[in-house]
């Protein structure tokens, strides 16, 4: 049973999947869940904000990159546990596919680092990825390859 101060309901958030030249844009997270791990730019959806608006805002805040949202393509769960293993928060991350327009990544907001990562490097065990990042990136790359330029 969650502590009375913790809202037991899942939190809606977006993640921005930007693919360019066989690379994916990732950030190293500063905050839970997955602090220190590499994942997609993203964050909570604000009151009255659409999925595209939230994902575009988070992308700009965390990387400075400008991109066009194309479509929602998947959703994944992210769980934030405390040191004893108790569940603190449950996020539902809604993935939005983006087409890169301009800018090179510069870490901002709650990102420690931001960079383009070669899609083939996502299998490297030395790269600390958040859960499902490689699979979501593969889905995004496959969708981008089907899109007209």
From 141, 138, 135, 133, select the one nearest 28 (Cα to Cα): 133
SS3 81: strand
Would you say the C-alpha torsion 125, 17, 7, 36 has a positive or negative sign?
Answer: positive
DSSP string, 21-41: TTEEEEEEESSSSSTTSEE-S
Catalytic residue among 49, 53, 68, 113: 113
**117: CB partners within 8 A, 6+ apart:** 23, 24, 25, 26, 38, 127
Decide if 113 is catalytic. Answer: yes
Residues with a known catalytic role: 113
């Amino acid at each position: 049973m969650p502590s009375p101060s913790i809202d037991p309901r899942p939190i809606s958030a977006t993640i921005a999947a930007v693919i360019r030249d066989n690379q994916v844009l990732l950030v190293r997270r500063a905050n839970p869940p997955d602090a220190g791990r590499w994942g997609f730019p993203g964050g909570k959806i604000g009151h009255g904000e659409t999925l595209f608006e939230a994902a575009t805002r988070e992308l700009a805040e965390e990387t400075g990159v400008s991109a066009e949202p194309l479509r929602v393509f998947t959703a994944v769960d992210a769980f934030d546990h405390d040191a004893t293993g108790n569940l603190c928060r449950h996020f539902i991350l809604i993935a939005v596919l983006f087409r890169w327009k301009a800018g090179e990544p510069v870490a901002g907001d709650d990102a420690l680092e931001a960079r383009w990562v070669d899609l083939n490097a996502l299998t490297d065990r030395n790269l600390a990825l958040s859960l499902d990042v490689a699979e979501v990136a593969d889905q995004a790359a496959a969708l981008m390859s089907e899109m007209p330029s």
